[in-house]
Amino acid sequence: MTLRARLTILYTILMVGILLLFGVAVSLFFNDRVRSQLDQELASAATLVIENIRVDPFGTLVVADQILTSELPANLYVLVIGHSINEIYYSNLPFRPPLDPIGLRTLNTTVRDAQVGNLPLRVRTVPLAVSDRQVGTLQVGLSRDLVVDTQRILFSLTVAGMLIGSVVAALAVWLSTRQALAALSHATASALTITRADDLSHRIPYGGPADDEIGQLISAFNQTLSRLERLFTTQRRFVADVGHELRTPLTVIKGNANLMRRMGCGDEESLLGIEDEVDRLTRLVGDLLLLAQAESGKLILGRDAVELDSLVLDAMSQLRVLIQPGQHLRLEDVDQVLVIGDRDKLKQVLLNLISNAIKYAPGGEVIISLQKTETHASIRIRDTGPGIPPEDLPFIFERFYRADKSRSRSHGPKGFGLGLSIAYWIVHNHGGWIDVDSQIGQGTTFTVWLPLTEKDRRQPDSEQPA
Ligand code: ADP
């Protein structure tokens, strides 16, 4: 779930909660106030009525007539009874008495909510006693309609407020976070573009205030990019400088080894060992210089028409010397394909991939094919070697990465882990890509995809001119 959606939900829930609490608090407060006002009115009304009641010498209750003219509230219900509900001394009830049957059962003064039919009442029950002897009971009641109605209105208002409040809160948060978070999404998109383009010279643009949180985040990220760019530039320069510096001594060592052989100094085995190692180091220096140039943008690729079929045959015949006894290198399908690019560099891609296949599939088979699809040429190099472990596959195009370190370093063929990164860079800069499919124990297939020329794209099936 996005941060924006999470914030919207959180604030909406918060708003609903606050409104609910507010509604309940107002309702409780109002209820309490109205009840205590009703209770006060009932208490003073009961006092007024009691003042108009006397007990005759036979112990019978007599309600004076002026009760009708006294200052009682017009909507007050009054009931004066003797020992039972059948002994009614005074009643102005329009319904069957009593007002509150439960109140009648207690011996103390009570104030209670009661319900007569649909009429909600607040009823005060007062036992009437003469010299500690109860002679009757007075009940006065007032309608609770106002309380009930007001509670109903408050409930409706709270629900409506919650609905409106939640919609308003959700809209407000959703809209107000749009601008703030848009800057973050924009920064993320820019950061991804920089990563994909592998170009540390780019910076994330930000038009907002530099001292807000997002401005600070973007500025920190840009500073990191600057630092990384400086580090990479220094590293590249270092590699290029070291490469240049090593070239001359290596040529001198090789020349001297040759001279020693011609002069008959030193034994042949040692001289061959020296020459092998010098050749290896010369290749490493060449690869390092090529990568340094490529990454600094100084390597300019040619744009010639390259016949891939003849390039494949060329590379294969050059590598036949590496084939060991029992190993087979063969060509399967070959379409005639023309691409635009740098012939030497494309040949280097094929040399790196085919020599890897030969190197890692001793005693096995290496099969090459060249095919043309509607838009691309595909060169497939398949071997029946040991395969690449799945955990290494994502990294094999990285510089100096070797999947099986022990094998590559010690007994087996020696490599520096640069061949695939060079091949990747060259193909990538020709507008293509390299696929790899590998199964442990069954072999590895590298497929190089290169875009066809415009002419070839329009006529996918037509024959190429000889
Ligand atoms: P290296 O000089 O070590 O061959 P590469 O960049 O050419 O360097 O290859 C990187 C790693 O990928 C190699 O060390 C090897 O482990 C693995 N690899 C490349 N091609 C093959 C292959 N055809 N079969 C098995 N492993 C391979």
> Over the stretch 337-368, which tens digit does the pLDDT of each residue have?
999 999 999 999 999 999 999 999 999 999 99
pLDDT digits (tens, 9 = 90+) for 269-299: 899 999 999 998 998 899 888 888 887 777 8
Residue 10's identity, in one-letter code, is: L
Residue 466 has pLDDT above 70, yes or no: no
Q: What is the pLDDT of residue 201?
A: 84
Rounded to an integer, the average pLDDT of 226-250 is 89
CA of 362 to the centre of ligand 1 (A): 13
Q: Alpha-carbon distance 98 to 112, whole Å?
A: 13
pLDDT tens-digit profile of 190-215?
A: 888 888 777 788 888 888 888 888 88
Distance 441 CA to ligand 1 centre (A): 15
| Most ligand 1 atoms within 8 A of CB, residue of 290, 352, 353, 360 to mutate | 360
Beta strands 376-383; 365-372: pairing state: antiparallel
State the distance from the centre of ligand 1 to the C-alpha of 359, rounded, in angstroms: 9
Q: How far is the CA of 417 from the centre of ligand 1 (A)?
A: 7
| Residue 241 pLDDT greater than 50, yes or no | yes
Which region, left, alpha or beta, applies to residue 52 given φ > 0 means left and ψ of -120 to 50 means alpha?
alpha
pLDDT of residue 405: 54
Q: Which residue has the tokens 């006693």?
A: 129
CA of 191 to the centre of ligand 1 (A): 31
What pairs with residue 220 in β-bridges?
none
Report the range of poorest mean pLDDT among 76-80, 196-200, 311-315: 196-200
For a mutational test of ligand 1's pocket, the pick from 368, 396, 399, i.e. the residue with the most ligand atoms closer than 8 A to its C-beta, is 396
Lowest pLDDT segment from 88-102, 115-129, 369-383, 451-465: 451-465
| pLDDT score of 419 | 93
376: enclosing H helix or E strand: strand 376-383
Nearest CA to ligand 1 atom 7: 419
Cα separation of 415 and 412, whole Å? 9
What the block records as the tokens of 342 is 């740098």
Which ligand 1 atom is the nearest neighbour of the CA of 352? Answer: 7
Per the prediction, the chain carries an average pLDDT of 88
Check whether 9 has a pLDDT greater than 80: yes
Protein residue with least CA distance to atom 14, ligand 1 = 402
> CB under 6 Å to ligand 1: residues?
352, 356-357, 360, 383, 385, 388, 396, 401-404, 408, 415-421, 444
DSSP 151-216: HHHHHHHHHHHHHHHHHHHHHHHHHHHHHHHHHHHHHHHHHHHHHHHT-TT------S-TTSHHHH
- Is the C-alpha dihedral spanning 128, 134, 135, 139 positive or negative? positive
CA of 160 to the centre of ligand 1 (A): 70
Of 113-117, 206-210, 347-351, 398-402, give the lowest mean pLDDT range. Answer: 206-210
Q: How confident is the model at residue 411 (pLDDT cuts 50, 70, 90)?
A: very low
- Residues 423-462 pLDDT 10s: 999 999 999 999 999 999 999 999 999 999 877 775 555 4
The residue among 233 and 43 whose pLDDT is bigger is: 43
Ligand 1 atom having least distance to the Cα of 386: 25
Q: Tell me what pLDDT residue 458 has.
A: 55
Q: Is the overall model pTM greater than 0.85, yes or no?
A: no
How much is the pLDDT for 414? 66
Measured between alpha carbons, how far is 266 from 397 in angstroms, rounded to an integer? Answer: 41
Which has more confidence, 465 or 39? 39
Q: Using one digit for the tens of pLDDT, what is the confidence trace for 367-394?
A: 999 999 989 999 999 999 999 999 999 9
Q: Looking at ligand 1, which atom is closest to the CA of residue 416?
A: 2
pLDDT score of 463: 46
- Cα–Cα distance measured from residue 312 to residue 154, given in angstroms and rounded to the nearest whole number: 86
For residue 418, the CA-to-ligand 1 centroid distance in Å is: 9
Residues of the chain above pLDDT 70, percent? 95
